[in-house]
Amino acid sequence: MSSETETQPDVAQDGHHGERRDTLTVTDNRTGKQYDVEIDDGTVRSIDFRQIKVSDDDFGLMTYDPAYLNTASCRSAITFLDGEAGVLEYRGYPIEQLAENSSYLEVAYLLVHGDLPTQAELDEWTHQVTIHTFVHENVKSFMQGFRHDAHPMGMLLGSVGALSTFYPDANEIDDPENRYIQTIRLIAKMPTLAAFAFRHSNGQPYVYPDNDLWYPGNFLNMLYKMTELKYEPDPRLERALDILFILHADHEQNCSTSAVRQVGSSRVDPYSAVAAGVGALYGPLHGGANEAVLRMLHRIERKENIPDFVAGVKEGKERLMGFGHRVYKNYDPRARIIKQAADDVFEVTGKNPLLDIALELERIALEDDYFIERKLYPNVDFYSGLIYEALGMPVSMFPVMFAIPRTSGWIAQWLEMVQDKEQKIARPRQIYTGQRGREYVPVGQRG
């Protein structure tokens, strides 16, 4: 609530309880009028500024925020992030504790339900996800229709959107049971679609899910099984992959999550909303940075070339990829955990020769004033690409590896959004900068 006022109180009085409320007093220097705007949770409501007008027929004041640098679009109880302190929590649990003790499927349950499951709840959740890993045979057929060199992320984007045609009732999004089954299906089928895309790119036959295996182990099975009767994943690789999945499960209102919420706000089915998230994650500024890190490391080639490379970065010729973050200005807590996971993977696969270059680059950068002054630290992408490469994946699979676990975050955010009474169809305003009232001229008469 806000109001036009003649005085400038520090706080407003709540009519019902007599509580003091924080307010902001704004003076419109065009009219000399003053307005009180409520401050709630350190935030003012943009709509409160619409009462600020120069005349009765004025539309009212808007706020302008390209790229949403300072605009909260929702209230959310899923992921907490403090960039200055390097803190990331899912539903209040620190990422370090979850990576150490939990599994991806348990984390997915936590994100979706809000609390950690009991053993019985976890068993049922795991069972449900496991028995929904298969996709309709027609999904396989249309995936086979992609070109031999189709990008696996493009295949994932198309196929997850197409799932909406296999489950036409998924648009009954006001039915909690229906929402629940689509949630299970999305988390369960994403690795299957991703692995089919991978096998397609390799010209290999698709491998069906093995329901005896754990979520990450089954994914490795669908990626790598060849002629053996039963694929047996290395438990160290399985665990490292599970940790990577935990680290990537959610990251509050990032570009792809906002895309899921925005598209979902039209009340479309969750497969279409998640396809929008995959599309956003496909972009090099979001899901593609780890690929850029690998290209950079390949280009540096030898440790001796690092000083020249760093000098070029400091002269502004290029960026040190995998360093810096829009939100984390201390360190990215995921980067520390991933470094440990990388060591575990290299124990099995043999060390990625690029690791030495990465470690030396990190050491030099962390001691250099340029990076210290700008608060540039390794982010999650500095090491994730090295792991994926060691697992035998081409760079085109990197964003796919991000999309699989982020699906639980997207669907948790989608569930929160569709049940949030304050949300409506997302529809930003614009500041129109084009021409007005032009007279149509027939094509033959145009100069």
Mark whether 286 is an active-site residue: yes
Q: Are 412 and 112 in contact (CB under 8 A)?
A: yes
What tokens does 125 get? Answer: 């959740």
Residue 362 CB, nearest distance to ligand CMC (Å)? 12
**DSSP H or E stretch at residue 179:** helix 176-202
Q: Return d(Cα 153, Cα 166) in angstroms, integer.
A: 20
Nearer to ligand CMC, 24 or 372 (CB): 372
Q: Return d(Cα 341, Cα 95) in angstroms, integer.
A: 14
Residue 98 CB, nearest distance to ligand CMC (Å)? 17
Number of residues written out for the chain:
447
What tokens does 246 get? Answer: 């935990």
Nearer to ligand CMC, 171 or 253 (CB): 253
Binding flag, residue 319, ligand CMC (CB under 6 A): yes
Part of the chain binding ligand CMC (CB under 6 A), chosen from 11-19, 35-43, 137-145, 320-328: 320-328
Part of the chain binding ligand CMC (CB under 6 A), chosen from 47-55, 97-105, 176-184, 321-329: 321-329
Binding positions for ligand CMC, 328-387, rule CB under 6 A: 374, 376, 379-381
Nearer to ligand CMC, 214 or 328 (CB): 328
Binding positions for ligand CMC, 195-214, rule CB under 6 A: none
Counting Cβ atoms within 10 Å, is residue 273 exposed (0-12), middle (13-18) or buried (19+)? Answer: buried
Q: Which of 161, 209, 322, 385 binds ligand CMC (CB under 6 A)?
A: 322
Mark whether 269 is an active-site residue: no
Tell me if residue 235 falls in helix, strand or coil. helix
Residue 312 CB, nearest distance to ligand CMC (Å)? 10
Beta bridge partners of residue 28, listed in sequence order: 33
Size, binding site for ligand CMC by CB under 6 A: 18
Nearer to ligand CMC, 133 or 379 (CB): 379
Counting Cβ atoms within 10 Å, is residue 411 exposed (0-12), middle (13-18) or buried (19+)? Answer: buried
Tell me if residue 343 falls in helix, strand or coil. helix
Q: Return d(Cα 328, Cα 340) in angstroms, integer.
A: 20
Nearer to ligand CMC, 6 or 367 (CB): 367
Residue 151 CB, nearest distance to ligand CMC (Å)? 19
Residue 64 CB, nearest distance to ligand CMC (Å)? 18
Binding flag, residue 20, ligand CMC (CB under 6 A): no
| Residues 31-70: x where in contact with ligand CMC by CB under 6 A, - otherwise, as a string | ----------------------------------------
Q: What is the number of the residue whose Cβ is closest to ligand CMC?
A: 324
Q: Which of 237, 240, 320, 412 binds ligand CMC (CB under 6 A)?
A: 320
Binding flag, residue 277, ligand CMC (CB under 6 A): no
Q: Give backbone dihedrals phi and psi of 61, rounded to 5 degrees, phi first.
A: -70, 135
DSSP 116: P
Binding flag, residue 161, ligand CMC (CB under 6 A): no
Q: Return d(Cα 428, Cα 262) in angstroms, integer.
A: 10
Residue 367 CB, nearest distance to ligand CMC (Å)? 15
Residue 396 CB, nearest distance to ligand CMC (Å)? 18
Map tokens 């890993």 to a residue.
133
Q: Are 287 and 262 in contact (CB under 8 A)?
A: no
Binding flag, residue 218, ligand CMC (CB under 6 A): no
Q: Give backbone dihedrals phi and psi of 388, rounded to 5 degrees, phi first.
A: -60, -40
CA 48 to chain centre: 30
Map tokens 């949030």 to a residue.
420
Catalytic option among 286, 343, 368, 420: 286
- Residues contacting 387, CB < 8 A, separation 6+: 240, 244, 338, 341, 342, 345
Binding flag, residue 325, ligand CMC (CB under 6 A): yes
**DSSP H or E stretch at residue 275:** helix 270-281
Q: Which of 127, 326, 363, 429 binds ligand CMC (CB under 6 A)?
A: 326
Contact residues: ligand CMC, CB under 6 A: 251, 254, 286, 289, 313, 319-326, 374, 376, 379-381
Active site (catalytic) residues = 286, 325, 381
